[in-house]
Chains A and B, each alone.
Chain A
Amino acid sequence: NAGVTQTPKFRVLKTGQSMTLLCAQDMNHEYMYWYRQDPGMGLRLIHYSVGEGTTAKGEVPDGYNVSRLKKQNFLLGLESAAPSQTSVYFCASSPSDSSSYEQYFGPGTRLTVT
């Protein structure tokens, strides 16, 4: 199993450009999450999904949109990138088993907005 994969690994955008980050998991997990991590900080939740076709806002959702059209994929979109969105983006997934909810993280996408 590949676990959680993220595409791309690195990207540089100019202010105002748009892009989509792709997260894929092959563990048949119901829950998926997008976090961002700024230098020296912990991860902050952007959006999450508890199942195919459903999404919800996290702690810092402004400037981002998400879609979960297939159970294994969770897309994060930036419609008009801003320098404040320079960060490392992590995707994670977890089973819906109430005894654990252990999250599995991808390797991250490093985004720079100039």
Chain B
Amino acid sequence: DAKTTQPTSMDCAEGRAANLPCNHSTISGNEYVYWYRQIHSQGPQYIIHGLKNNETNEMASLIITEDRKSSTLILPHATLRDTAVYYCIVRVGPHSGYALNFGKGTSLLVTP
């Protein structure tokens, strides 16, 4: 299964865009990239996922490089409530029921 590498922590000023990078250089052609976040030890919350194309929803945008070896999650206008640990995950295949392989994630601190 493909592994991901993320920075341990990042800061972002409130109102600015938060750009969270993720490296997944061993990703296979049919593996999706998922982003979840966990606010203060609550249950993780789904943000967005993608395969090849860039994706956007009401929460964020996901930019995947053409070679699919890295991606960036963009929170366009970060608020204090976006302070959380953000996990970049390459989805495990059907042999594990499509479970999520969590790493340590990036701790994002949004400051006033």
Contact = CB atoms under 8 A, between A and B. Distances in A.
Given A42-B105, A88-B41, A101-B91, A48 B97 contact: yes
A34 B29 CA distance: 28
A83 interface: no
Nearest to B89: A42
Given A42-B105, A107-B43, A50 B100 contact: no
B41, B43, B96, B98 interface centre (most CB from chain A within 10 Å): B43
Interface string B80-112: 000000010001000011111111110000000
Given A42-B105, A100-B49, A102-B49, A48 B99 contact: yes
* Interface SS of B by simple majority: loop
Interface residues of A, number: 28
Contact of A43 (B42, B45, B91, B100): B100
Contact of A92 (B43, B49, B87, B91): B43
B46 A102 contact: yes
Contacts of A88: 41
B43 A56 contact: no
B43 A106 contact: yes
A103 B101 CA distance: 12
Nearest to B98: A101
B44 interface: yes
A61 B16 CA distance: 42
Contacts of B49: 100, 102
A103 B100 contact: yes
Nearest to B87: A42
A108 B41 contact: yes
Contact of B103 (A33, A42, A50): A42
A81 B36 CA distance: 30
A40 B32 CA distance: 25
Interface of A: 4, 31, 33, 35, 40-45, 48-50, 56, 58, 88, 90, 92, 94, 100-108
Q: Which 9 A-B residue pairs are closest in the complex by CB-CB distance?
A: A105-B43, A42-B102, A48-B97, A43-B102, A101-B98, A45-B99, A102-B46, A50-B97, A105-B44
